[in-house]
Amino acid sequence: MAEHITAIIGGTGLTQIDGPEQLSAEPVITELGAPSSTPQRGVWQQQPVVFLSRHGHPHAIPPHKINYRANLLALQQLGVNRIIAVNAVGGIHPDMGSGAIVIPQQLVDYTWGRESTFFDGDFMPLQHIDFTHPYDETLRQQLLTAAKACNITVHDHGVYGATQGPRLETIAEIQKLQHDGCDLVGMTGMPEAALARELNIPYASICLVVNPAAGKSDELITMDYIRQVLDHGMHQVIRVIEGLLQSDNN
């Protein structure tokens, strides 16, 4: 069996990571520019990993200005052959309240104006990928199995609605997303997932619900509240990833 080199792409609340050992910076420049942050290579549960902070460190790059293409190319250049994306999201589905962890299986893309493909006719010739199932099902199931082994409750389904940001959504927008079938709302799920598919790198997401979406609570959404949820929830997300890597040793 080929060795896994697992990339963890950290989002809001995960701009640096404590689990891996022997972390060292791996400066990479791609044909499409520099990634959001310098990737860090290390060993975690005896498995090789690469960590990349999607928004930079410190958290500074807004969702619509992230060079997603450079991020994915950098990971490919470092030999990554599977990607776990960590996303902080708002909860739309009533069962996906603050603190819930979701391994989504589908997504709807509402973003615009982003460099969203390698196959643009300039960088690479035009191709059309099959994106019926946007997340790699094998990797999804491995994450679900790891969560169960760690006794961490996760939702094994969910539709991620990717919005433009960086502002949060209106009540009417969330109602539209819910009508469209979305369970979660975030700002960075696309084009990241599609770019990974174009590079044939298995990709799955772990979503941490950090707040009810607009109109789903009587309380105002504040960053202080979001940070409190992030502090607790990211520990559980890290445990799931650690469990997945540990299972690779069996």
List residues forming the annotated binding site for substrate. 187, 211-213
- The one-letter amino acid at 238: I
Output 114-118 pairs: Cβ under 8 A, ≥24 positions apart: 114/64, 114/68, 114/190, 114/191, 115/32, 115/67, 115/68, 115/69, 115/191, 116/68, 116/190, 116/191, 116/194, 116/195, 117/191, 117/194, 117/195, 117/198, 118/69, 118/195, 118/198, 118/199
The b-or-e profile of 92-119 (16+ CB within 10 A means b, else e) is: bbeebebbbbbbbbbbbbbbeebbbbbe
Length of the chain: 250
Binding-site residues: 12, 54-55, 187-188, 211-213
Beta bridge partners of 44: 47
Q: Which of 87, 74, 7, 63 is nearest to 37 (CA)?
A: 74
Peptide bond into 63 cis (omega under 30): no
Q: What is the DSSP letter of 30?
A: B
The annotation places the binding site for phosphate at 12, 54-55, 188
Identify whether the C-beta of residue 182 lies closer than 8 Å to the C-beta of residue 91: no
